[in-house]
Amino acid sequence: MKDLEGKTVVVMGGTSGIGLATARQIEERGASVWALGRSAAKIEVAGKHNPKINFLALDTHDIPTLKQFLNQRAPIDHVVSAATGANRTMAPFMEQTDEQFREAFDKFWGYCNVIRQCVPFLAKNASITLVSGTPARKCVPGMSSVSCVGSAVEALTRALALELAPIRVNAVAPGIIDTAMFDHFGDNKSTIFEQMSQNIPLRRVGQAEEVASAIVLTLCNNFMTGTTIDVDGGQLLP
C-alpha cells in the first residue's frame, strides 16, 4: 500500500468531500500531499484531523499564486483537480440567466488554469486527474449547465491525453455521493438520499472514499490515460 512512497501529490479542492478523502488515501500510501482549497474554515477543520497532510488556501483562478506554489513544490508527481470553484444554479435552462449558466463553467476554467500552470513543473511519468460527474452523460432536467461542464471536462481529458503524453490525463465521474454538498437538506438528508437511490441499481448513494479509491487508481496505474472511470452505483446503466 506504499506505492506512492516519496511522491509529491497536489490535490486541488482537497479540504473537504471527495478531495479530502483522496488526500487521505494518497497520504496513507506514502506520498507527500498538498491539499488546497479556498475556505479557511475548511482548512482549519481538516488540518486538525489530518496532521500529516499539508493544507493551504489557494484559488484555482488566482493564476500568479497558483504558479508560484507549483514552482515551489516542483517536481510534482501527480495533480488531482477536484475543486468545484463555481456557483452552480440548479434550474431549467430557460429559467437560468446567461450569467448563471456561464458561472458553472468556472469549474472548467479552473481545471484549465491548473493544467496549464502545472505541466511545466511535473515530474517524469506524472499524471493529472480531473473530476467530472454522471450528468455529463445522463442529464436530468434542471442540471443542463452541470451536464455541459462535465461533458467539457471529459472531452478535455481525452484531448489532453493525446497532447500531453507521456503525461497521463484521466477523469473520474462520481454519481450521487454523500458529501457536504447535500448538507443543506438538514434532517431530511437521509430521506432525500433514499428517494434518490430508487434510480440507482445498488440502491444507495456513494461515499467519498469510494470515489477517492478510483482517483488513486488513476495515479498508480501507469498504463491508464484518456479514461473516465464511473463511480456511480450503476446509475449510468439504461
Domains defined for the chain, CATH in brackets:
8-177+207-231 (3.40.50.720)
Q: How far apart are CA 104 and CA 112, in angstroms?
A: 14
Q: Is 190 helix (H, G, I), strand (E, B) or coil?
A: helix
Residue among 200, 208, 205 at smallest CA distance from 235: 200
Query: Residue 87: what pLDDT?
Result: 82
Residue with the three cell numbers 434510480? 199
1 pLDDT band, cuts 50/70/90, is: low
Q: What is the sign, positive or negative, of the torsion defined by CA atoms of 189, 191, 197, 198?
A: negative
CA-CA distance, 185 to 48, in Å (whole number)?
Answer: 26
pLDDT (tens digit, 9 = 90+) per residue, 143-202? 999 999 999 999 999 999 999 999 999 999 999 999 877 877 888 888 999 998 999 999
The residue-averaged pLDDT of 65-74 equals: 97
CA atoms of 10 and 104, how far apart (whole Å): 23
- The H or E element that residue 208 is part of is helix 208-220
pTM here is 0.94
Region at 65 (left for phi over 0; alpha for psi -120 to 50; beta for the rest): alpha
Cα dihedral 210/212/218/219 (nearest 10): -140
- 144-163 vs 106-118: helix crossing angle, rounded to 10: 20
Average pLDDT, the chain: 95
The strand pairing partners of 55, in sequence order, are 35
Give pLDDT tens digits for 33-67: 999 999 999 999 999 999 999 999 999 999 999 99
State residue 188's pLDDT score.
Answer: 87
**What are residue 206's DSSP bridge partners?**
177
pLDDT of residue 86: 73
CA distance 101 to 75: 37
Find the distance separating the first CA and the last CA of the chain, reported in whole Å.
36
Rounded CA-CA distance 60/37 in Å is: 8
